[in-house]
Structure 1
Amino acid sequence: MTKEHILPKWMREEFPELAREPVFQGSQNEHDGPTPDGPRTVYRGGKEESGPFNRQAPVVCGPCNNGWMSQLETNVHEPLSRMIRGLPTVLTSERQAVVALWSAKTLMVAYRAPHFGPRPRPEVILPVDAERLYQDRALGPMMVMGLANYQPTPYAREPLYVQSFTRMEHEGGAYSYCATLRIGHFAAQLVRCPDGMYPPLGQIPPHLVLLRPGASAVHWPPSRPIRAGAEWDSFVNLPEETGT
């Protein structure tokens, strides 16, 4: 196995002034208590700070790291660097596939990185999802990727890179999760629905652009941003109700 950088080397060169920015990361795991009206069990990971470009995870084999993943970084460089800066970007069908695959790969590698610390039990992202991503080079059928435009608070310095993982238990042993990655203004959220419950792709919220490889081009940013504070907290956490 080789070490895969969570954030790629090209990003260090693209944003050298951010090399010393802090990294905030956490996870949350919730499930119902023994009775329907009982308290929910909640796990929340801690906060850790360090430079955003130094994190590596020894969870990728050499052929992948130096092959399709390397090509993926080349392909995503131009559109991703624009969105990180908050610049309007047209995402063609091909670019949607590239950004969706890169975002999912980055989240899954970050989740398995040693610096993440003790992961909650049960885990949020199961190995089967990473295996499916590797085999298909695309999101699984129960997954959907949305992009948001993050607007930081004007009166506080915020980190370049934030990640969050939340899992919710449903009736009958089913589960869903969302994994969220934010780099600058770019925010990508991977939602994994329970097996057999396909993602609803009807009305799109105004704060999201859904990536649909094979569909027509979409424009980023969406019509409404996600603002720092309560809006962001609501965005990264699944609702508490099960069965929804």
Structure 2
Amino acid sequence: MARTCVFCGGTPLTKEHVLPRWLRTALDPAMERARYIRFASSSIHVHEAPLMNEQVRVVCAPCNNGWMNDLEESVRHFLPALIRGTAAQLDHVRQVRLATWSLKTMLMYQHTHGREAQSLIPAMDYAAFFADRRPSRFMLGRVAFMNYPSDDSVPLADTLCQGYGSAEGAAWISTLKIGCLVTQIVRVADFDEQWKIQPFESFPSLRHVWPAADPIDWPLPLAIPHEHMSDLALPDTLDVRLMSR
């Protein structure tokens, strides 16, 4: 467990709700207790606990009650619609806010598990996020649509993270699914200033949100089957290309 704030190094630490309690209005209370966290397709951890109650003690009060709270409030007016699969539009501003909120939530979810899981995302990525308050230039963000779970056989929330260490440095993919909303952050190894990441191709069920792209009408026209979650979130290799600026 962290002894100082994972973002700024401050103390004392306070408890942070991994998901904001106001999200309860977007969730079906009959299925609120089911959550999976997976680090490989063969390693599934089932948590039978209310989603809104999960907390971590890894951030200080100024971070928790300051910029992190501001970030939660910035998505409050449109995030429930994305989770329920009702009509919404993601313009440039909302795409940035969604990608930023998703990254913050993924970083907090890493601390619901042991040191091995936490080490997949290096401390420098927490520090960079604290400094910039948004994903870095070494990251891509995507959003996908899945149908809302019809029963407890499909988890209401699903989080997956996989590391891809290389000689160039740490790289990882983190994927978060809540209801109909799937967000993914891809972090590639550091590269020089003259390069940038080539965006992924857009599909009817998968669109680019970081860096922000064209406006997105929600829900997307095609849903990704939940059975394909591991294929999306846990690819064998990190297939990302660089292009000149």
Q: TM-score range by the shorter chain?
A: 0.7 to 0.9
* Structure 1 position 19, deviation (Å): 7.0
Where structure 2 has 5 or more consecutive residues not aligned to the other structure, the ranges are 1-12
Q: TM-score, normalised by structure 2?
A: 0.81
* Structure 1 position 174, deviation (Å): 3.4
Which of 11, 21, 38 is the matching residue for 1:26?
38
* Structure 1 position 66, deviation (Å): 1.1
For residues 1-244 of structure 1, the aligned pairs below 5 Å read: 1-15=13-27, 17-18=29-30, 20-28=32-40, 44=43, 46-113=45-112, 116-120=113-117, 123-151=119-147, 157-170=153-166, 172=167, 174-196=169-191, 198-201=196-199, 203-212=201-210, 215-229=213-227, 231-240=228-237
Secondary structure of 1:109's match?
Answer: helix
Secondary structure of 1:225's match?
Answer: coil
Q: CA 1:76/1:18 → structure 2, altered by over 3 Å: closer, same or farther?
A: farther
CA distance in 1, matches of 2:154, 2:57: 28
* Structure 1 position 13, deviation (Å): 4.4
CA distance in 2, matches of 1:24, 1:128: 27
2:84–2:148: 8 Å Cα contact kept in structure 1? no
Secondary structure of 1:139's match?
Answer: coil
* Structure 1 position 225, deviation (Å): 1.8
* Structure 1 position 160, deviation (Å): 1.5
Instruction: Report the identity percentage.
Output: 27
> How many residue pairs end up in the alignment?
226
2:122–2:170: 8 Å Cα contact kept in structure 1? no
1:21–1:52: 8 Å Cα contact kept in structure 2? yes
Greater shift in the superposed pair: 42-51 or 133-142: 42-51
CA distance in 2, matches of 1:213, 1:199: 10
* Structure 1 position 239, deviation (Å): 2.1
Q: TM-score, normalised by structure 1?
A: 0.81
Where structure 1 has 5 or more consecutive residues not aligned to the other structure, the ranges are 29-41
CA distance in 2, matches of 1:43, 1:234: 12
CA distance in 1, matches of 2:90, 2:147: 20
CA distance in 1, matches of 2:23, 2:239: 39
* Structure 1 position 203, deviation (Å): 2.9
CA distance in 2, matches of 1:12, 1:143: 29
Q: CA 1:59/1:207 → structure 2, altered by over 3 Å: closer, same or farther?
A: same
2:139–2:210: 8 Å Cα contact kept in structure 1? no
Q: Deviations over 1:106-149 (max 9, x none)?
A: 00011023xx234248x211111111111101111110110000
